[in-house]
Amino acid sequence: MAPTCFFALYWLPLMLAAAARGAEEEGGGGCLGSQKCGHLNISSPFWITQGQADKPCGRLDFQVYCNYSTGVATLRSSTDTGFDIINISYGDRTMLVFDVHKLARLNSSTGCSIPVFNTFAKLPVTFTISPSNHNLVFYNCTKAPPAEQQQKLGLVETRCGNNTFARLGGRYDGEGDYDKYYLEGCSRNSTVFSPVLKPPDGKANASRYVELVRGGFLITWGNLPPPVPPPPELPVTSSGKFTLPASLKG
């Protein structure tokens, strides 16, 4: 096979893959300018999808599902239950969301249990948890910490029982908080961090853990990279064969 034809056959799949990737991430401008979901305006870079079969028209991390019957918008997440959106500030690039999974587990009337996933592990990498949030820490312990320690740290036993506790800490610091909040007798692997905002009344403590989770937390997104440029087209001769640009010929 001639070198020119071989190179063209090798290059063409790469070009098509790049084009498909660009279409998935950018959607080729196919997203609607702005849509309503309840009281929210869903605008670029966010876009609304109605089902798994829908063709992506924007970046997947900004995909939003809208339940039009309830007016609830949910941000795409790495788990089945994502983050419900409370408010969006496009100018500040911030969004107030709450973790549906955590609230459902804590509120369950039949199978109450503390959360099992750290929020930072579920959130799409495009977003950053704002340092304006505080740490709400959940512990699963083999035995209850001493009463004096509970009082000193503000530990509150959750309604789920079985030596599970909640603690409201300082400013959120992600994965770096493990050592700071370690408790003897409480499994490190079962210690879960949930960012929360202090309520408007300023009266925040661990006993209000369900209310704090429901109140949500702030996430931010930065400047997005430019769209993926379309791959260059290979010129085709009258015989239907690809020819290499002069710059690529040896």
Residues 126 and 158 in one domain: yes
pLDDT at 21: 46
Domain boundary among 51, 76, 101: 76
Residues 117 and 217 in one domain: yes
Angle at 140 between CA 139 and CA 145, to 5 degrees: 75
For the chain, give me the number of helices (H) and strands (E)? 5, 13
166 φ, ψ (degrees, to nearest 5): -120, 150
User: How many domains is the chain built from?
Assistant: 2
What does pTM read for this prediction?
0.75
For the chain, 250 residues long, the average pLDDT of each consecutive 10-residue run is 49 46 45 89 90 73 92 80 92 95 88 87 90 94 94 94 93 77 90 90 88 96 65 61 58
Residues 72 and 156 in one domain: no
The whole domain housing 14 covers 1-76
Residues 62 and 106 in one domain: no
Q: Which long-range contacts does 111-114 make (Cβ < 8 Å, 24+ apart)?
A: 112/158, 112/159, 112/160, 112/161, 113/160, 113/164, 114/138, 114/139, 114/140, 114/158, 114/160, 114/164, 114/166, 114/190, 114/192
Q: Is residue 202 in some structural domain?
A: yes
Residues 116 and 17 in one domain: no
Judge whether 36 and 88 are in contact, CB under 8 Å: no
Residues 108 and 27 in one domain: no
Residues 181 and 67 in one domain: no
pLDDT at 25: 43
Q: Is residue 231 in some structural domain?
A: no
